[in-house]
Amino acid sequence: MKGRSAVDIAAQVEIAKESTRVWTATQRVWEYKTLVKLLPDHVSRMAMVKYLIQNGYLILNKPFDEDMDCAREAPGTSDSHTSTTSAVATSPVACTASSSPQEEEETSSETPSSDERTRDSSRRSHSTPTVREAMQAGGMYGKCPPESKLLVGFKDHLIGALQVQNCQQEVDNVSRFLCYMQPEGEPNLEFLNKTTDTMGYMKALIQSGLSAATILNYWKNIIRFLEYVKGSIDINVDRVKIEKYIDYLKTMRKPVARTHSGDVCSTRYDRIVDGMPTVHECNLVLQTGNARFLDIYNRMAISKTVVSPTDKTWYRYYCEALMMLRHFQRPGAVEGMTVKEWVNRKLTDGRYLIGIKKHKTGATHVATIALTLEEEAWYQGYYEFIRPEFVRGECDSFFLSARGTKITSGSSDLNRLHESCGLKHVSRTSGQVRRAAETLVATSFTEKQKQNVAAYMCHSDLMADKHYRMPVPSTIVATAILLDTLPGDCQPPTKKQRVDAGFSENRIYYDRWRKCQYADRQEHLLSYYTYQKPSCGKMERLISKEGWTSNCPNAQDILDMWKPAVKYVIESDKHILKSCSRQKWKGLVIKSFDGQKGEGVVATTNFTKGDIVCDYHGKVITKADGETMMEELGNQACYFFFFKAGGENLCIDAQTWPCQCHPGLETFGRKINHSSKNPNIMPLSVVLRLDDEDVHTILFKATRDIKVDTELKFNYGVNRKSFRGEALDLDWLDE
């Protein structure tokens, strides 16, 4: 370039700069996922990552720095680890266990020291998102397709043979292991020959920040999976090889088990030195938030004023905390409590008893709580004034999230309550308050009292030592344009568009267009609720989902326009057809009454006059056949509904239970009690198209507004005199 002009030199310099930029952008950048595929071994991959970074390369989506620091030289290259007489000698876990005291101290500082069984994550050195991201970066969070033959068979084995109902987490752990060992294709048993990769998987779990308890749980799940494979007659495999691989896994987990034992001892030591929180200290959040809680209850239940959604959610948090901190229940009991269990509570000795069947624990006992009269009023306030605002779909859980679904974590809600009360630094868990209670019980109560406490807390009778172990842009644009063409969603034409189309410049047509759009939007919103009037909150949520920014109808105006659907609309309503076909009606539960009334049906949500509540389900027969069956049954005949339709005298046989179309399902219509003076529903005869067949059906229609916890009643057309004096003692017949 010596003899070239300055212009040529400048041009060549620019070319060189551009070439350097291109090379830097394309040749000095590595994607970590590519390295995972090229170097499956974790130790080798970490060494390569360090080498590339030291030489100026950029690694996209690489693990965190603390995980990079955990990468050490692969075992077996050192003279101190050349022995081949034991598989553990070359295991990365064994190397960790047999390292120098200084290395052990460094390792223990990186390993979480919390006992995971206590569900207390405040002592972890890594937060859950960090662990998850580290696992994702290390290629350990992927899962095999759930329809894989091995996984389907293993899940069926857990549910059927071992009676493990909540087994999805175990299946997912095995799926992640298989995906790590075989990233592509249908999972098979080739990993039995990959002992080195198995060592790498154990090392990767440790370096991701998982606690020793969780790693042991992974290993236990994998061993149980191999036991299933070994005993399966449908899988052709060398069972001797599986036995050797299982022994290999058990040997590998011994150092982790020692680490876990050390963690447990460390946790117990901290409890001795620092002291355990008392029951009073655990209940501090209830004392701090009591004033706000009572204020919300008074405004909601007594003053009947509007309560904000934030206060409603906070009220729910407090109710959940009462169960966990004051009644010592596990989060699983809070999450598993249903509406049916609430409405069937029993008043016994001045307390309301509630039994909870599903509490997500291994205990076979029914979780029970005994609420005071004051606490029962608080929970009834939530049930009557807050829960109906969040009811969506067919969720039967007592506590509902803001999305109308079952709450996913009572522990998380308890943490949020502590944070809102300014007690995040002293946040207590259900496990801590249960241990505090157990300590007092062990020192102060008799053996019989201890057993009673164990039953109330849903422990086994041996409650001393064991604790509970514990979730293309162009296509998007095209779709949005398509949705803009739907009725009610279009944008009004601009002034220029109106003039170009030949209309005048004034707003007469523009206003008419907006008026038609407004009417279409009103009709569109009303079409969602044909047989049941929604609440104002539901309508507001529906309007917000539409995303309208202007010319938006008012929720209260829509509710004022709502009218009960006429008969021909009811017969074609998809919600009614679906509810009749599946026999799942929203907002109802069967309740047991004391005395001679037996069972009845009560509302768990508000119904408006004209709403379709449910149907009277049973086989449609002729009137003559129904009368014959009644004569044969005598005094046992109870569930027959006679009516006229289309000039025919018909009868619905609900006496034959369960019905052939819904075996094992209790229907609501046959459980509705009689009232001649105060009925709140009435029968309506319609013809519905069910299963490609026209079926005469009796629907029950609300004759007035029905509030939560109100019993449904309709007039049977009988009274005490109808039985010629034989039923004069049945006062409820003439209610």
pLDDT tens, 584-593? 898 999 998 8
What confidence score (pLDDT) does residue 364 get?
Answer: 54
Strand 673-674 versus strand 588-592 pairing type: unpaired
Within 8 A by CB and 6+ apart from 705, the residues are: 606, 607, 608, 609
Assigned token pair, 398: 């007592």
Task: Tell me the average pLDDT across 195-216.
Answer: 89
What confidence score (pLDDT) does residue 111 get?
Answer: 34
Residue 356: alpha-carbon gap to chain centroid: 17
Q: In one letter, which amino acid is 648?
A: E
3-state secondary structure of 488: coil
What confidence score (pLDDT) does residue 658 get?
Answer: 82
Do the Cβ atoms of 296 and 315 come closer than 8 Å? yes
**pLDDT at residue 563 is higher than 70:** yes
For residue range 639-678, list pLDDT tens digits in order: 888 888 878 889 999 888 888 888 878 899 989 998 888 8
- What is the rounded radius of gyration, in angstroms, for the C-alpha atoms of the chain? 34
Work out the percent of the chain whose per-residue pLDDT is above 70.
Answer: 78
Task: Tell me the average pLDDT across 193-197.
Answer: 89
Do the Cβ atoms of 596 and 732 come closer than 8 Å? yes
What confidence score (pLDDT) does residue 725 get?
Answer: 40
Kindly compute the dihedral angle of the four CA atoms of residues 129, 134, 139, 144, in this order, to the nearest 10 degrees: -30
What confidence score (pLDDT) does residue 440 get?
Answer: 73
Whole-number Å distance between alpha carbons of 68 and 87: 26
Whole-number Å distance between alpha carbons of 462 and 359: 19
Which among 300, 344, 337 has a CA at the least distance from the CA of 602? 344
Assigned token pair, 443: 């020192």
What confidence score (pLDDT) does residue 590 get?
Answer: 92
Number of other residues whose CB lies within 10 A of the CB of residue 519: 12
**pLDDT at residue 28 is higher than 90:** no
**Alpha-carbon distances of 287 from 104, 137, 622, rounded to whole Å:** 44, 44, 64
171-175, 294-298, 427-431, 563-567: range with lowest mean pLDDT: 563-567
Whole-number Å distance between alpha carbons of 692 and 118: 55
CA atoms within 13 A of residue 181's CA, in its CB half-sphere = 23
Concatenated DSSP letters for 76-101? TSSGGG---S-GGGG-HHHHHHTS-H
Q: In one letter, which amino acid is 633?
A: L
26-35, 305-314, 550-559, 686-695: range with lowest mean pLDDT: 26-35
**Would you say the C-alpha torsion 593, 597, 603, 607 has a positive or negative sign?**
negative
Mean of the per-residue pLDDT values for the chain? 77
What confidence score (pLDDT) does residue 449 get?
Answer: 67
For residue range 355-379, list pLDDT tens digits in order: 888 776 555 567 788 888 888 999 9
Whole-number Å distance between alpha carbons of 118 and 134: 23
Of the pLDDT bands very low, low, confident and very high (cuts 50, 70, 90), residue 381 is very high
**Alpha-carbon distances of 455 from 261, 280, 462, rounded to whole Å:** 29, 22, 10
Number of other residues whose CB lies within 10 A of the CB of residue 599: 14
Whole-number Å distance between alpha carbons of 116 and 119: 5
371 bridge partner residues: 352
For the chain, domains (ranges, CATH) are 85-99+131-274 (no CATH), 279-456 (1.10.443), 477-563 (no CATH), 569-734 (2.170.270.10)
What confidence score (pLDDT) does residue 38 get?
Answer: 84
**pLDDT at residue 97 is higher than 70:** no
**Alpha-carbon distances of 438 from 84, 262, 435, 448, rounded to whole Å:** 50, 24, 5, 14
For residue range 318-361, list pLDDT tens digits in order: 999 999 988 888 888 899 899 999 999 888 877 888 888 877 65
Q: Which of 132-136, 436-440, 487-491 has the highest mean pLDDT?
A: 132-136
For residue range 396-423, list pLDDT tens digits in order: 899 998 888 888 888 899 999 999 998 8
Which among 509, 587, 579, 567 has a CA at the least distance from the CA of 683? 567
**pLDDT at residue 127 is higher than 70:** no
Which among 531, 554, 169, 587 has a CA at the least distance from the CA of 404? 587
What confidence score (pLDDT) does residue 72 get?
Answer: 40
**Alpha-carbon distances of 236 from 18, 193, 637, rounded to whole Å:** 60, 16, 59
Within 8 A by CB and 6+ apart from 688, the residues are: 571, 576, 577, 580, 694, 695, 697
**Would you say the C-alpha torsion 198, 204, 206, 208 has a positive or negative sign?**
negative
Which among 629, 631, 621, 619 has a CA at the least distance from the CA of 667? 619
**pLDDT at residue 722 is higher than 70:** no
Task: Give the H/E segment covering residue 628.
Answer: helix 623-633
Whole-number Å distance between alpha carbons of 131 and 46: 17
What confidence score (pLDDT) does residue 723 get?
Answer: 40
Task: Give the H/E segment covering residue 520.
Answer: helix 508-526
58-67, 202-211, 555-564: range with lowest mean pLDDT: 58-67
To 5 degrees, how large is the angle CA 17–CA 22–CA 25?
125
Helix intervals (H) in 393-506: 410-420, 430-444, 447-456, 473-483, 495-500
What confidence score (pLDDT) does residue 96 get?
Answer: 32
**pLDDT at residue 138 is higher than 50:** yes
Whole-number Å distance between alpha carbons of 175 and 191: 13
Number of other residues whose CB lies within 10 A of the CB of residue 12: 12
Within 8 A by CB and 6+ apart from 60, the residues are: 29, 30, 31, 32
| φ/ψ (deg, to 5) at 46 | -65, -35
147-156, 263-272, 399-408, 684-693: range with lowest mean pLDDT: 263-272
Q: In one letter, which amino acid is 112?
A: P
- Three-state SS letters, 171-188: HHHHHHHHHHHCCCCCCC
**pLDDT at residue 491 is higher than 80:** no
Concatenated DSSP letters for 603-614? ESS-B-TT-EEE
**pLDDT at residue 313 is higher than 90:** yes
Whole-number Å distance between alpha carbons of 598 and 238: 61
